[in-house]
Amino acid sequence: MRVVIAEDSVLLREGLARLLEDGGIETVAAVGDGPALVAAVAEHDPDLAIVDVRMPPTHTDEGLRAALRARALRPSLPILVLSQYVEERYATELAGGGVAPFGYLLKERVADVSDFLDAVRRVAAGGTILDPEVIGQLLGRHRHDDPLNSLTVREREVLDLMAQGRSNSAIAVRMTVTDGAVEKHISSIFLKLGLGAAPDDHRRVLAVLAYLGR
């Protein structure tokens, strides 16, 4: 696997490259700003881009905007956002297109190297990884009459696990229910949110995020 890292902190950038190397993952470019990310994607055609949100010159949302430009060059590019911040607008735009795999992890909540490497591999392989805190913040920014408020506690639990890229079987194991029960929960979720059925877990998660981003 070949990865591009976009992170303005030199120490963190080099640390990520070392962790990936130890996990058998090649870093083909490690850059510190948005334009360099776009150039690296164009030059190396990586299997995954790991991107921070806040980068030079303004340290606001340059990383995500650069990721969108990189996606314009390569629409199928898997992107894993690794940041201290949840930035709603461009994150939902990146995830909501339904074109390519996407992940969003908060730096301070990545407590295990093996879990991080697993997330990298899963997004590169076509999965979706979203930190529950990211989901919570995105959901919490919407109106009190948001259709999400009609979901039951169990349906919210299923939605969180879907957002983490879990399959129906994995959700069933985590919740100690049958696969059939999970399918019923998912059908109810999409009915309440006004979303049509989708062919796989990845697209279902993207459909939810696209709805949140409207």
Domain boundary, last residue among 74, 108, 136? 136
If asked whether residues 49 and 146 sit together in one domain, one would say: no
- Residue count of the chain, please give it: 214
Confidence of residue 148 (pLDDT cuts 50, 70, 90): low
Check pLDDT > 70 for residue 72: yes
Give the per-residue pLDDT at 164. Answer: 72
Vertex 138 angle, CA 200 and 98, to 5°: 30
What's the domain range around 174? Answer: 142-213
Check pLDDT > 70 for residue 196: no
If asked whether residues 82 and 22 sit together in one domain, one would say: yes
Residue 2 DSSP label: E
13 φψ region: left (φ > 0), alpha (ψ -120 to 50), beta (else) = alpha
Check pLDDT > 70 for residue 147: no
Kindly state the tokens that stand for 105. Answer: 């992890």
If asked whether residues 123 and 159 sit together in one domain, one would say: no
Give the per-residue pLDDT at 25. Answer: 97
The mean predicted confidence, pLDDT, of the chain is 82
If asked whether residues 158 and 98 sit together in one domain, one would say: no
Using CA atoms, how far residue 52 sits from 143, 152, 153, 185, in Å, is 28, 34, 32, 34
If asked whether residues 26 and 131 sit together in one domain, one would say: yes
If asked whether residues 98 and 187 sit together in one domain, one would say: no
The model scores a pTM over 0.75: no
* Residue partners of 212: CB distance under 8 A and separation at least 6: 92, 96, 138, 139, 142
If asked whether residues 109 and 165 sit together in one domain, one would say: no
What pLDDT digit, counting tens, does each position of 27-53 carry?
Answer: 999 999 999 999 999 999 999 999 999
Residue 9 DSSP label: -
- Give Cα 152 distance to the centre of its chain: 24
DSSP β-bridge partners for residue 150: none
